[in-house]
Structure 1
């Protein structure tokens, strides 16, 4: 099961890179819109996050708290909704875009700092 967990973790990090990297690249262009990389990053984050939180891990001392998983899921679903429903717009509101970037960073911070 450990190889599966590591593969899911690797893909989860790829999703984070797509989401944050895509949003930074989009911000630097000056036209704030949801790029396909951002949408795919959000999808990958939610799907692999669910896989990492699944009971397939086998228990143990390294289980993250349920509250942490719930917070990360809610934030991940918010990010996914914000990218999915805005993906066809020519340009999104600056506040919407910056909130998306902020939620992405907060989700990473929850993963790292909440023990």
Structure 2
């Protein structure tokens, strides 16, 4: 079970990198819109996050805090919704786009600093 948990965590980190990398690429290109990497990154984040929250532990002491899981889940779903419903627009409002980036970084901060 530990190997599966590590593979899921690795995929979760890849989803984060794809989402943030896609957002930064769009931001620095000057044309702010939702690209395919952002959509796929948000999907990977939600799917692997749900899988990581499932009781996969083999009786170890690494049980995650339910409040932390709830916060991360809500933020991840919010990011996905913001990306999904804006994906077909030719250009996205700068505040909306920066909100996606800030929420992505906030989700990583919750994962890192909440123990």
* TM-score bucket of the superposed structures, by smaller chain: over 0.9
Structure-2 residue corresponding to 1:105: 105
Aligned residues: 115
Matches within 5 A, 1:24-35: 24-35=24-35
Unaligned runs of 5+ in 2: none
The change in CA–CA distance for 1:59 and 1:86 in structure 2 (over 3 A counts) is farther
Matches within 5 A, 1:1-115: 1-115=1-115
Offset at residue 62 of structure 1 (A): 1.5
Deviation track 1:2-45 (CA, whole Å, cap 9, x = no partner) reads: 11111101100100000001000000001110000000000000
The alignment's TM-score, normalised by the length of structure 1, stands at 0.97
Offset at residue 61 of structure 1 (A): 1.6
SS in 1 for 2:56: helix
Cα RMSD (Å) of the superposition?
A: 0.7
Cα distance between partner residues in 2 of 1:60 and 1:94: 44
The alignment's TM-score, normalised by the length of structure 2, stands at 0.97
Cα distance between partner residues in 1 of 2:110 and 2:47: 18
Unaligned runs of 5+ in 1: none
